[in-house]
Amino acid sequence: MISPRHTKLAIGGLRHLVLAIGAFVVLFPFIWMLSASFKPPSEIYTQDVQLIPIAWTLENYIRAFSAQPLGKYLLNGVIVTFGIFAFQVLFSLPCAFALAKLNFRGREVLFALIILGLLIPEYVISIPVFFMFFKVGLLNTFWSLIIPFWISAFGIFLMRQFFKTIPDDLLAAARLDGLSEIMIVWRIMAPLAVPAVMAFAIFSVVFHWNDFYWPLIMVNDAEIATPPLGIVLFSNAEAGNAVGPMMAAAVIITLPLVLLFLSMQRRFIEGLTIGSFK
């Protein structure tokens, strides 16, 4: 006879089975990428499909770094994401603080404009901004990848919402202690805002590390390509004849964010989904 306990166990087992099948589908591209990156060409260009390499090799990784400036792509990715994020915070924090805690004429109008700015995806501004950078001779430079994102309506909005929750008493106390407003922003408010800034950091870094559209229109020089553009340039140059090295490059490019995600999952999930609630 089937007891309720057995049914429960069976359902529990079924749950894991269904989830495991789904997980295999979700993980398969990652597994395949990793496995192929260690395979010699003879195991890649074959009809005989093996999940695990038979003759492991590091050749693909060596070629990934030697046949293209992969190291440079990674460095460029770091320069661009950091250059964007640092300035976003520099401009957003004081503005968000003023919007949340200071009285001035035009505050509501400015906040409405920020909300309007939230609605505009990067694709919309690409033609005029491309023209602007062409005019000032900055196309195909790091600046053309970094400066357009110095303003983040989302960053300002997020930090403003956060500052709203900080009690006014704290501000009053700091002012009584004779701190200037600038000191208050950077010495008192910024440290308090670390959770909000962290969530925003993850949002910003993940977005710009993975962004393909913007580098595609602004840059055609492999020397300043970020990882997504770099790997596509490489793929086009090799015209499908270097699957192994490409998989190795894909591993190298995907790895930093995946590792970061695995090491701080809660913050990552928060940072990436918080944008949906804006």
By CB under 8 A, tell whether 110 contacts another protein.
yes
> For another protein, which is the closer residue by CB, 66 or 265?
265
- The residue within the footprint of another protein, chosen from 10, 123, 221, 237 (CB under 8 A), is 123
- The residue within the footprint of another protein, chosen from 119, 135, 178, 191 (CB under 8 A), is 119
Show the binding pattern over residues 251-270: x = contacts another protein (CB under 8 A), - = does not.
--xx--xx-xxx--x--xx-
Query: Of 146-185, which residues contact another protein (CB under 8 A)?
Result: 147-148, 150-151, 153, 156, 169, 172-173, 176, 181-182, 185
> For another protein, which is the closer residue by CB, 79 or 151?
151
- The residue within the footprint of another protein, chosen from 78, 79, 129, 222 (CB under 8 A), is 129
- The residue within the footprint of another protein, chosen from 10, 52, 62, 125 (CB under 8 A), is 125
- The residue within the footprint of another protein, chosen from 82, 130, 143, 186 (CB under 8 A), is 130
**15: exposed, middle or buried (C-beta count within 10 Å: 0-12, 13-18, 19+)?**
exposed
- The residue within the footprint of another protein, chosen from 1, 3, 105, 178 (CB under 8 A), is 105
Distance CA 218, CA 141 (A): 8
Nearest distance, CB of residue 58 and another protein, angstroms: 19
Show the binding pattern over residues 63-102: x = contacts another protein (CB under 8 A), - = does not.
----------------------------xx-xx-xxx--x
Show the binding pattern over residues 2-31: x = contacts another protein (CB under 8 A), - = does not.
---------xx--xx-xx--xx-xxxxxx-
- The residue within the footprint of another protein, chosen from 193, 225, 228, 245 (CB under 8 A), is 228
Taking a C-beta distance cutoff of 8 angstroms, is the pair 166, 196 a contact?
no
Query: Of 199-218, which residues contact another protein (CB under 8 A)?
Result: 206, 209-210, 212-213, 216-217
- One-letter identity of residue 194: V
